[in-house]
Amino acid sequence: MIEMDSFLPSILSCINEGIVIMTTDRTIAYWNPFMEELTGRKQEDALGLNVDNVLPNLDKPFFHQAVDRVLGGGSPAFFSAAMHRRMISDTHKVNMKMNRVIDGEQTALLLEFIDVTNQFHRISQLRDFVRQLSRLNSELKQKEKVIEKLAYYDTLTGVANRALFEKFADKYLNLAKRTKSMLGLMFVDVNEFKLINDTYGHHMGDKIMMRVAAFLTESTRKSDIVCRYGGDEFLILLPDLQSFEDYRQIAGRIDALKKKKIIQDGHTIGLSLSIGASFYPNDGTTIEELVAKADGLMYIQKHRSRMEMKKHL
């Protein structure tokens, strides 16, 4: 019979993804050979050290907050290479998954780093190929616009998707740094959206999500970018804010949506939103930091909203 305690390290050594196990104080307890390939750092140089020292690009609020959340019993965390660049090195693009592992009285965190560098390279090659074809045939230029819409816009709501958000986020952040102007970011979540789906069906939920996207677009400026970030979450990029008063005007219009009644297919549904906002340079100097800050404030408001709802039940 196989002794799993002794056999497990051999299994983990064969996995083609980076595996890191760390204790609750972020000390590295395991570092598999694939992590050595991804980082160029040997196992013996990583074990016993704090993960922030071994992987300094993870010494960021978004990572620390995720560690606390997962250790506190929250859902596993996922960080994409598209939103979080250079997590472990300048040459490898990785997606990271974080899970809590409990064995008796011991608790640890399992970090899985999946190398997607080749996927990004292939996507880049494909884009270059499409550009070459478009220069050869004017008809293909029109087709390229169709492809771009599919690549950069959410198919349900028509607003920007994460790829387009990332593209504009980098552009506007660099502009804000050059001009020393203020860049705002709003994180908007539709409260109890699962309840809408469960009560009225997913077809109704899709229609409500389309209405919310339209309301957010109408409430913002033409230069602002409304992005569907997840199932019931939106990000709004607010470039070139001259003052907080500019933000307050936009936020006021969106805030009015919190008590809006939506009439859809004969049903009247109350719309409830939780909103968090962050600003460059006060709340962060990278898009990742601004998203994490706004997400945290949104989560606090969402928690308060649930508490208020329970009081009225």
**Residue 168 CB neighbours (<10 A):** 17
Residue 63 included in any domain: yes
pLDDT in tens, 97-108: 999 988 888 888
- 0.85 cut: is pTM over it? no
**Distance from CA of residue 202 to its chain's centroid?**
23
Residue 2 included in any domain: no
Catalytic residue among 154, 189, 224, 232: 232
Residue 82 included in any domain: yes
**Averaged pLDDT for residues 86-96:** 82
Residue 201 included in any domain: yes
pLDDT in tens, 149-208: 667 889 899 899 988 999 899 999 999 999 899 999 999 998 888 888 888 888 888 998
Give ∠ CA 287-146-85 in degrees, rounded to 5: 20
**Distance from CA of residue 312 to its chain's centroid?**
33
Mean pLDDT of the chain: 83
pLDDT band at residue 270, thresholds of 50, 70 and 90?
Answer: confident
Residue 9 included in any domain: no
Q: In the chain, how many domains are there? A: 3
User: Between residues 118 and 55, which one has the greater pLDDT?
Assistant: 55
In the predicted structure, residue 217 carries a pLDDT above the cut 90: yes
In the predicted structure, residue 4 carries a pLDDT above the cut 50: no
In 153-243, which residue ranges form alpha helices assigned H by DSSP? 162-179, 193-200, 202-219
- Domain limits for position 184: 157-311
| Same domain for 124 and 111 | no
| Same domain for 216 and 111 | no
* HSE-up (13 A, CA, CB side) for residue 107: 11
| Same domain for 235 and 131 | no
In the predicted structure, residue 45 carries a pLDDT above the cut 70: yes
**Averaged pLDDT for residues 284-311:** 84
Residue 3 included in any domain: no
pLDDT of residue 226: 95
| Same domain for 35 and 178 | no
pLDDT band at residue 237, thresholds of 50, 70 and 90?
Answer: very high
| Same domain for 307 and 189 | yes
**Averaged pLDDT for residues 127-141:** 66
Residue 101 included in any domain: yes
CA proximity to 236, closest of 300, 189, 305, 178: 189
Is 265 among the catalytic positions? Answer: no
Helix (H, G, I), strand (E, B) or coil at 228: strand
Separation of alpha carbons 41 and 35, rounded Å: 8
Residue 261 included in any domain: yes
The domain that holds 98 is classified in CATH as 3.30.450.20
Query: Which helix (H) or strand (E) is 255 found in, with range?
Result: helix 244-255
